[in-house]
């Protein structure tokens, strides 16, 4: 690889940053190399983030519409779907998403961040057409799987792309905006599904078909978005990277752009050529054989696993089914409260994630999730449900049913304002040289655990009772809360090139806390700016 030479901001400076002893000198070096962060970012940065976040909308719409479709599809596929068939068509999307995430991980470094997103759009449209035109379970199932391929690719690459393009001061909020798009997609799909449920005939097909619209829109608008500056530097395209930085930081000087490019290059100079040319297996081996990298990727993946194994997506996939079980007559309408709460509290996260930091938010919200699941498990104990048919054995909902819906709404609020978004912000923990593959592992963790939840929820409700199922999710969330206390460091306001030092020795919780104190002004500079820039 051809080395970009910007005088003093070269390997010698890199060595100084890695070995710096005092916080004052450390902060000065970071500001010198990331001085561009102090300039106002253009509106283009937010517009690009909004466009790319349409990928999150694809994710959200798919997970949102299946809930209403399962209770309105009737005999459209030849017969009433059994519990096992419902679990099959629901979990197949997660299986496809897992494979799609792997594909995106294989191509994101070699071909850039935009190519996998385009592929995801095409695949998503094909899968949507297959489902909309299905009259048999096999075709509908294949369509669900194909849609999953697109969802997995978009879910993997979009947060990665945003994290590399975003100014440090906005990084958390921009990735949070992507998650807000997911929750808006879920809310929109639930609303459409509830409305179509009141239409006679096979209106569920319209609910599914509408999902192709954001995929087409994303494919068109992506032409106007630049490639990630870090990817351009990694592929020896420093001049193009400078143009992208000018677009994002129009008020920056040439010297600041050169320093930023040097900072990026410095963080990847030893691994860039290997990153571009190595096979997936060599990159994976680097993750598992480099302790600091393994810890960084591991923390990101464990937080993602907690977000899925908490059982949240049972509410997205089966909320209408669940409320029907509890005894609500208009279950699809009641289920909208779940997706609406999810959307509203994702906005809350958007506002607070860079102000309060990831760690504090996780500690509060994950404990809140644990408490809600514990109460839900108790409430289910007082609801007479036939575990063989999953039908309520009473004509009245009663206080346990109303308590359950209130607790579920609270649980969704805690989830959406915390781990739902921060699990995807976890890409910022992963070192540049393995970021695409590390993000792929994070996304694979998301979908593999999602498969477990989607394919076992109804069976668990029957096998170990609803109380047992929610008690199981409660236990997992409590273990996750303990993990966060000891292993999740606070990296708000850190340039991505500095985050790698956090995991150099252990999980870096104390190191990160010390960095936040000693570099308070620098971190503040990267988090206090308003949305107006």
Q: Is the pLDDT of residue 527 over 60?
A: no
Looking at residue 299, what is its pLDDT? 95
Using one digit for the tens of pLDDT, what is the confidence trace for 151-200?
888 888 888 888 788 776 777 777 778 878 888 988 898 888 888 878 88
Question: How is 78-101 classified by DSSP, letter by letter?
Answer: SSPPPHHHHHHHHHHHHHHHHHHH
349: pLDDT confidence band, cut at 50, 70 and 90?
Answer: confident
Q: How far apart are CA 388 and CA 83, in angstroms?
A: 11
Domain assignment present for residue 165? The answer is yes
User: And the tokens for 367?
Assistant: 């404990």
Q: How far apart are CA 165 and CA 184, in angstroms?
A: 23
Looking at residue 15, what is its pLDDT? 39
Domain assignment present for residue 25? The answer is no
Q: How many CB atoms lie within 10 A of CB 19?
A: 7
Cα R_g (the chain), whole angstroms: 23
Q: Kindly report the CA angle at 293 between 290 and 295, in degrees rounded to 5?
A: 105
Helix (H) or strand (E) holding 391: strand 391-392
Judged by average pLDDT, the poorest of 71-85, 91-105, 394-408, 502-516 is 394-408
Domain assignment present for residue 95? The answer is yes
279: pLDDT confidence band, cut at 50, 70 and 90?
Answer: low
* Mean pLDDT computed over every residue of the chain: 80
Domain assignment present for residue 530? The answer is no
Q: How far apart are CA 12 and CA 39, in angstroms?
A: 26
Domain assignment present for residue 232? The answer is no
Please state the φ and ψ torsions of residue 170, each to the nearest 5 degrees. Answer: -110, -5
Higher pLDDT, 93 or 519: 93
Domain span holding position 339: 41-225+278-525
Domain assignment present for residue 321? The answer is yes
Are the C-beta atoms of 292 and 162 separated by less than 8 Å? no
Q: How far apart are CA 216 and CA 267, in angstroms?
A: 36
Are the C-beta atoms of 495 and 30 separated by less than 8 Å? yes
Block residue for tokens 């990694």:
234
CATH of the domain at 428: 1.20.1250.20
- For helices 254-268 and 238-248, angle between their N-to-C axes, nearest 10 degrees: 120
On the 0-12 / 13-18 / 19+ scale of CB atoms within 10 A, 61 is: buried
Are the C-beta atoms of 432 and 163 separated by less than 8 Å? no
Q: How far apart are CA 326 and CA 214, in angstroms?
A: 34
Q: What residues pair up with 391 in beta bridges, in sequence order?
A: 386
Q: How far apart are CA 131 and CA 135, in angstroms?
A: 9
The total domain count for the chain is 1
Domain assignment present for residue 389? The answer is yes
Residue count (the chain): 533
Using one digit for the tens of pLDDT, what is the confidence trace for 190-206?
888 888 878 888 889 99
Q: Is the pLDDT of residue 11 over 60?
A: no
> Across residues 100-105, what is the average pLDDT?
82
Q: How far apart are CA 282 and CA 275, in angstroms?
A: 9
Using one digit for the tens of pLDDT, what is the confidence trace for 386-430?
777 777 666 666 788 788 888 988 999 999 999 988 998 887 888
Q: How far apart are CA 264 and CA 269, in angstroms?
A: 9
274: pLDDT confidence band, cut at 50, 70 and 90?
Answer: very low
For residue 132, give the nearest of 143, 119, 146, 120 by alpha carbon: 143
Using one digit for the tens of pLDDT, what is the confidence trace for 289-315?
889 899 999 999 999 999 999 988 777
For residue 95, give the nearest of 442, 448, 440 by alpha carbon: 448
Domain assignment present for residue 47? The answer is yes
Are the C-beta atoms of 100 and 92 separated by less than 8 Å? no
Using one digit for the tens of pLDDT, what is the confidence trace for 459-479?
888 888 889 999 999 999 999
Q: Is the pLDDT of residue 373 over 70?
A: yes
């Amino acid at each position: 690889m051809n080395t970009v030479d910007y005088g003093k901001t070269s390997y010698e400076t890199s060595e100084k940053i890695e070995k710096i002893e005092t916080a004052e000198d450390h902060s000065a070096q970071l500001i010198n190399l990331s001085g561009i962060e102090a300039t106002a970012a253009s509106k283009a940065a937010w517009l690009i983030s909004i466009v790319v976040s349409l990928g999150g909308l694809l994710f959200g719409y798919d997970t949102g519409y299946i809930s209403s479709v399962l209770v309105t599809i009737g005999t459209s596929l030849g017969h009433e779907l059994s519990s096992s068939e419902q679990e099959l068509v629901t979990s197949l999307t997660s299986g496809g998403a897992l494979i799609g995430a792997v594909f995106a991980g294989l191509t994101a470094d070699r071909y850039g961040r935009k190519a996998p997103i385009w592929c995801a759009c095409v695949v998503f449209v094909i899968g949507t057409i297959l489902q909309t035109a299905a009259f048999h379970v096999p075709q509908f199932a294949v369509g669900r799987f194909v849609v999953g391929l697109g969802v997995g690719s978009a879910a993997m690459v979009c947060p990665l792309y945003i994290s590399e393009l975003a100014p440090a001061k906005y990084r958390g909020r921009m990735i949070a905006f992507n998650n807000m798009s997911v929750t808006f997609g879920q809310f929109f799909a639930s609303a459409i599904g509830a409305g179509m449920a009141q239409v006679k005939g096979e209106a569920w097909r319209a609910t599914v078909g509408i999902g192709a619209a954001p995929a087409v829109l994303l494919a068109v608008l992506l032409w106007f978005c630049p490639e990630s500056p870090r990817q351009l530097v990694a592929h020896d395209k420093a001049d193009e990277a400078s143009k992208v930085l000018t677009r994002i930081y129009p008020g920056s000087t040439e010297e600041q752009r050169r320093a930023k490019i040097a900072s990026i290059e410095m963080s990847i100079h030893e691994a860039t050529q290997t990153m571009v040319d190595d096979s997936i297996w060599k990159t994976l081996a680097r993750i598992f054989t480099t302790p600091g990298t393994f810890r960084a990727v591991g923390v990101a993946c464990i937080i993602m696993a907690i977000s899925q194994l908490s059982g949240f997506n049972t509410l997205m996939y089966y909320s209408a089914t669940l409320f029907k079980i509890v005894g609500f007559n208009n279950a699809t309408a009641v289920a909208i409260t779940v997706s609406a709460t999810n959307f509203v509290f994702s906005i809350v996260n958007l506002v607070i994630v860079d102000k309060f930091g990831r760690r504090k938010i996780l500690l509060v919200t994950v404990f809140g999730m644990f408490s809600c699941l514990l109460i839900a498990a108790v409430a289910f104990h007082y609801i007479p449900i036939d575990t063989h048919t999953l039908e309520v054995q009473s004509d009245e909902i009663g206080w346990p049913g109303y308590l359950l819906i209130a607790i579920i709404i609270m649980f969704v609020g805690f989830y959406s304002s915390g781990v739902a978004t921060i699990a995807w912000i976890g890409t910022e923990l992963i070192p540049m040289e393995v970021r695409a593959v590390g993000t792929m592992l994070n996304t694979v963790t998301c979908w593999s655990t999602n498969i477990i939840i989607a394919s076992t929820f109804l069976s668990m409700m029957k096998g170990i009772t609803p109380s047992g199922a929610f008690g199981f999710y409660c236990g997992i969330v409590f273990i996750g809360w303990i993990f966060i206390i000891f292993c999740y460091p606070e990296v708000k306001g850190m340039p991505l090139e500095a985050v790698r030092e956090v995991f150099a020795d252990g999980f870096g919780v104390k190191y990160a806390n010390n960095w936040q104190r000693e570099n308070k002004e620098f971190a503040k500079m990267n988090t206090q700016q308003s949305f107006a820039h």
